[in-house]
Chains A and B, each alone.
Chain A
Amino acid sequence: MPTSGIPNLLSLMTFLPLLGAIIVMCLPRPRDLSTKATAGQDKTKPVIEDTGRLLVTWITLGFTLLTFVVSLVVFGLFDSHYAHSLTRNMQFVENVDWISMGSLHIRYHMGVDGISLLLIVLTTLLMTLITLFSFSMKDRIKEFMVFLLLLETGLIGVFCALDLVLFYFFWEAMLIPFYFLIGIFGSANRQAAALKFFIYTFAGSILMLVAIIGIYQVAGSFDIVALCDPSSPAGAALRAAPPEKLTWMFAAFALAFMIKVPMFPFHSWLADTYAEAPTAGNVISSGVMVKMGTYGFLRFLLPLFPEQSHTFAPVFIWLAVFSIIYGSLIAAVQTDIKRLLAYSSLAHLGFVILGIFTFTRVGTMGAALQNINHGISTPMLFFLVGMLAERGGSRWIADYGGLKKIVPMLATMLLIATLSSLAVPFFNGFTGEFPILLGSWISATTHLFGGYWPTALAGTGMILSAVYLLWWYQRLMLGVAKKPELRRFPDLNRAEWAVLIPLTIVIFWVGLGSSFWTQRMKSAVNTLVPSGQESLIPADEGPDIPYTQPVTAVLEADAAANALNDSGMGRKGAPVPVRKKPLHPVYRPATGGAAPGGARSGPAPGGSPPPREAPGGSPQAPPPGTPGTDAPTPRPGGRLEPGFQTVPPMLRRKLFPNAPDRLPRGDVFNSRLLSQKEVQS
């Protein structure tokens, strides 16, 4: 296991903001500056001498920056080639006894893999930017900063925790500071919105708590790593539990995460919260907090309940598709800037859920990347909307218009953020949403339950997003400025540039060089979607095609240097044999046999260019240092019908009446056992 040399780096990163919160809490309270607050006070003291305000803001900035630096250190020391499915690729692991009484053992178990690492860096970056953005806040700045720092601890903790109880601690403790951020600093209707948000999330998570205890009762462990591993006692016990019990636990977990994301029937808190929250609340919520939901799907739901996830996949796929279309349509008719972004968030996160439930590496990687992308573009939009609202004092679209000539820089930045959210190529959104659609196209799961319809309908979501976002941009920025006060808007100032530039850099970095980010998540995604479960391509038929093959082919077509480098590396490896066998008839979509041939080997549908290096060689062969955990292993028993293992267990008995019940999962087991042997040797 790679270690950093610096002990307890994750704990340091998690609790640094907490320390900052305690320090800021002890500082004297600065004077409020708004006219309302200063109405009854004497104004003899000039504002410039308010050292309390300087102390509060700069100390907070210092702590958020320091946390950001620590997270960058973790990012730098992170070994992206480290792959070990038995430990779920966790690095920087800390594992000590926390609560041990009687039969109860709760451990303080922290660790990061690629997926959580990127979310952590995103969190610390956004927190730093929010602090910077909030320097101009007038009232109650001290409380604001305290809550911000407390929130940061909770968010980082959620992404680091590897013990279910520890996770729940952070997950729930984070609600309180966020509740206050909305309730104190929001707009007129903030109290109701804060309460609605809290009750919604609390209702979901307390049922999850019951399910967590249920898991412990069944498996005797809270350790996620052990629970996810079917060869460990805890993992085996969990999988051997009565199916109806597992289904209930699955439902409780799914409910908590679906509320958090949110998905269609549980989304009603989203628009109210976004509309009433202050800019900081919007940024945190859209950037990081909703990611806790999607992260929950990836980290907990899928690995803990693989069978149930497969069985209920159609529900999630259709809900995701519905969220995409419904969110887009509702967003198009909004008159409130923030509500529009809220519904667009609903649509974009629908893509993430769709990607997760394709059970393909492409789709899952796309979902993980889109998680980050959405955490960059939506916060940037919210920052810009906040800047607009600071100038115009209104959040109604109709109050603006024709701003492009007045504030050209702000308009340009807004365009960048909009295009990024639109998933235009070159921008980051594309690198996330395209693999998701690709994964959904080649996925057996989507096929079984809806043919190509989920992909097709989700694809319309991309068009719809162009409709509402471009129209929105048009109404805000283009045309003639209707009101005279709009002409007095100042353009971006230095602090605002400082907030926007880092986000812009990340947008293009992800958009043009996505492999820098995906290679860090690769081992996590590969563990999440074992080769045997991958899409239409059964493990015993073809080579284990690495995720990056089809995607990089398209994504990096423009970043020529990178791609050349990669393919050059790849040609040194042994040529990968091409699969010639036709698909099992079950998997031939009813719409016609022509499409899947292309879909299997590359991203042919959708008019994208054929993969340059697809049949010839293995362009993205695993780097030499990677242990071959996911290398295809010869199946010990007889051959199964191709495609068997990709069928959800519920349908197996119907489709393959003669096949044994549990055998196909042995594929996964075998590869894990192999890796265990490797470790020992």
Chain B
Amino acid sequence: MNYSSSIHAILPLLILVITGMIVLVGDACLGFWRRSKLFSASVALAGVSIAGLSALTALNEGGVKNAFSGAISADPFSQACSLILILVAGLAILVAMTYLQNRDMHHAEYYALVLFSTSGAMLMAAANDLIVLFIAVEILSVALYVLTGFARTEERSEEAALKYFLLGAFAAGFLLYGIALIYGGSAGSIDGGSYGTVAGGTTNLTLLAQHLSFTTAPPVMLLIGVGLLFVGLAFKAGLVPFHMWTPDVYQGAPTSVTAFMAAAAKIGAFAAMLRVFTALGPISPYWLGAIQIVAVLTMFGGNILAVTQDNVKRMLAYSSIAHSGYLTVAIAALGAIPHDSAGALAARNTAMSGAIFYLLAYALMTLGSFGVLVWLTNRGKDYQTISDLKGLWYKDPPAAYMMLIFICSLGGIPGTMGFMGKWFIFYASLQAGQLWLAVSMACASVISIAYYLRIAATMCFVDPESRTEPIRAQSTGGVITAIAIAASFTLLFGVAPGLVHSLMTAAIALGRP
């Protein structure tokens, strides 16, 4: 594949990066740009829309394009993930428009950073080489570190940024070390077949998968490498026991950043995990147990810890950990499907498309619920603790209605996307013969209902301290648009998930052995 078609394959990603640069340069050099408050946001939104159109076109074209000598794979799976990420970026920009104005920290860099980190997450989904994956993780993370500390004057934000950075750097070390060991471990493992011998190892996932399919007993070095790689990615996804940073960072970061980070970082991490573990499919008996244990720990850990929280952002952070656990169940299902069984391909497609649907659902409902918190900042204070929400139903009915929709979706009540997502993952794990994982997921989601309903109860069952509260006349247009989009998608796709069918079946490209 020549160079220009390689560029064409990563077009949506490039559009985002270029828009980010335009925003940075324009804000620095042009006076009119800086004076108009929402110019950067509008340019960023325009860029996101063009990127979205380009991703949509690519998804419709279909077909697998290997760009840059197979280092990047622009297949429908990555296009679908890109599309979800672009939606997330667009909603995050809309949310930020309101939040930054209300908190008096409206700077154009914010939008540029959102675009950069989105491109990083998109690259994670498309990376077919472990080195590219590492670069993508860094692009995503570095931008997120800065965003987390964006509220410069707040100690909590700075603390969160530092914590995130230090732990993230540590995790990056794990990731890189794992990649190195995989490279080393795959070197000696080529034992004949039509493939021939390769002197060094490989970091390319396609080659790795081919190697592994000839291997009966993978070397220990390779397995350690896979373990370290998983630790690195699990850190980004916030899986127990690598979740320690999540509540602190989610709570400390500005709420609009939390909304974006919770969605984008998780999509990136899970897209990468899905791709890596599909490639590692031939040696699934070696990693399946670890994934299953982590999935159960994450589901129960996240949900049980969330029950005791009094800060809504922290509670939603633990809830996002629990949702990572549900997604990990889908990965476990992927590994548990026997390779040569009759329905293997169909079962793997179910798991893949279930995971993609759940990612979309998770992104919408998480963004939406944090978005409602952003919406409430127009009352002049940062709504964070659960007692702040007391009687919201009577003070601000539309916000409470919206929050209820997202809470129902997070809890998995029928009629919302969250329910359909859980449904697909149950289905996938039963198809893979993992009944006990499905049952533990069901039990974990019963626990989760306790704290989701606590939010609902506080909003609706308790009288507010005062029924009339001064509302600072500020623009909430951005966040309301974002919430309206998220809520309507949540309800629409919850009743008619067939509408995103093509998005979900895109995963089939990856499931192909």
- Is A217 interfacial (CB 8 A cutoff)? yes
Whether the Cβ atoms of A202 and B461 lie closer than 8 Å is no
Instruction: Name A117-173 residues within 8 Å CB distance of B.
Output: 165, 168-170, 172-173
- Is B453 interfacial (CB 8 A cutoff)? yes
Whether the Cβ atoms of B414 and A210 lie closer than 8 Å is no
Instruction: Name A185-202 residues within 8 Å CB distance of B.
Output: 190-191, 194-195, 198-199, 202
Chain B, interface residues (CB within 8 Å), range: 35 or more
Q: Which residues of B contact A199 (CB under 8 A)?
A: 446, 449-450
Whether the Cβ atoms of B426 and A198 lie closer than 8 Å is no
Measured between alpha carbons, how far is A9 from B414 in the docked complex, in Å? Answer: 23
Whether the Cβ atoms of A176 and B413 lie closer than 8 Å is yes
Whether the Cβ atoms of B427 and A213 lie closer than 8 Å is yes
Whether the Cβ atoms of A99 and B408 lie closer than 8 Å is no
Measured between alpha carbons, how far is A195 from B450 in the docked complex, in Å? Answer: 7
Minimal beta-carbon separation of A281 from chain B (angstroms): 14
Contact of A209 among B346, B349, B423 (CB under 8 A): B423
Of B414, B419, B456, chain A has the most CB atoms within 10 Å of the CB of B414
Whether the Cβ atoms of B498 and A217 lie closer than 8 Å is no
Q: Which residues of B contact A190 (CB under 8 A)?
A: 461
Whether the Cβ atoms of B498 and A180 lie closer than 8 Å is no
Measured between alpha carbons, how far is A589 from B426 in the docked complex, in Å? Answer: 47
- Is A207 interfacial (CB 8 A cutoff)? yes
Measured between alpha carbons, how far is A40 from B349 in the docked complex, in Å? Answer: 60
Whether the Cβ atoms of B414 and A169 lie closer than 8 Å is yes
Whether the Cβ atoms of A101 and B498 lie closer than 8 Å is yes
Measured between alpha carbons, how far is A183 from B426 in the docked complex, in Å? Answer: 30
Measured between alpha carbons, how far is A530 from B150 in the docked complex, in Å? Answer: 71
- Is B274 interfacial (CB 8 A cutoff)? no
- Is B175 interfacial (CB 8 A cutoff)? no
User: What 0/1 readout, one digit per residue, does chain B (473-513) give for beta carbons within 8 Å of chain A?
Assistant: 00000000000000000000000111001001100000000
- Is B186 interfacial (CB 8 A cutoff)? no
Residue on B with the closest CB to A180? B460
Known contacts A202-B446, A203-B446, A207-B439; decide if A102 and B427 are in contact (CB<8 Å): no
Instruction: Name A72-123 residues within 8 Å CB distance of B.
Output: 98-104
User: What 0/1 readout, one digit per residue, does chain B (413-448) give for beta carbons within 8 Å of chain A?
Assistant: 111000100010011001100010011001101100
- Is B457 interfacial (CB 8 A cutoff)? yes
Q: Which residues of A contact B505 (CB under 8 A)?
A: 101-102
Q: Which residues of A contact B439 (CB under 8 A)?
A: 207, 210
Q: Which residues of B contact A170 (CB under 8 A)?
A: 414
- Is B255 interfacial (CB 8 A cutoff)? no
Contact of A217 among B423, B431, B504 (CB under 8 A): B431
Contact of A104 among B427, B443, B461, B496 (CB under 8 A): B427
Contact of B445 among A206, A214, A217 (CB under 8 A): A206
Known contacts A172-B413, A191-B457, A214-B430; decide if A99 and B496 are in contact (CB<8 Å): yes
Minimal beta-carbon separation of B458 from chain A (angstroms): 9
Q: Which residues of A contact B427 (CB under 8 A)?
A: 104, 213, 216-217
Contact of B414 among A100, A102, A173 (CB under 8 A): A173
Of A170, A172, A190, chain B has the most CB atoms within 10 Å of the CB of A172
Whether the Cβ atoms of A195 and B457 lie closer than 8 Å is yes
Whether the Cβ atoms of A206 and B442 lie closer than 8 Å is yes
Q: Which residues of A contact B501 (CB under 8 A)?
A: 101-102
Q: Which residues of A contact B349 (CB under 8 A)?
A: 102
Contact of A195 among B346, B426, B438, B453 (CB under 8 A): B453
Contact of A194 among B423, B457, B467 (CB under 8 A): B457
Q: Which residues of B contact A59 (CB under 8 A)?
A: none
Sample of 12 more A-B contacts, CB < 8 Å, known A103-B346, A213-B426: A101-B504, A102-B346, A102-B353, A173-B413, A179-B456, A183-B461, A191-B461, A194-B457, A195-B453, A209-B442, A210-B430, A213-B427
Which 8 pairs of residues, A with B, have the shortest CB-CB distance?
A169-B414, A206-B442, A203-B446, A101-B501, A183-B461, A172-B414, A173-B414, A213-B426
Interface residues of A (CB under 8 A from B): 40, 98-104, 165, 168-170, 172-173, 175-176, 179-180, 183-184, 190-191, 194-195, 198-199, 202-203, 206-207, 209-210, 213-214, 216-217, 248
Interface residues of B (CB under 8 A from A): 346, 349-350, 353, 408, 412-415, 419, 423, 426-427, 430-431, 435, 438-439, 442-443, 445-446, 449-450, 453-454, 456-457, 460-461, 467, 496-498, 501, 504-505
> Can you report 30 residue pairs joining A to B where beta carbons are below 8 Å apart?
A99-B497, A101-B497, A101-B501, A101-B505, A102-B346, A102-B353, A103-B350, A104-B427, A169-B414, A170-B414, A172-B414, A173-B413, A173-B415, A183-B457, A184-B460, A184-B461, A191-B461, A194-B453, A198-B453, A199-B446, A203-B443, A203-B446, A207-B442, A209-B442, A210-B426, A210-B439, A210-B442, A213-B423, A213-B427, A248-B435
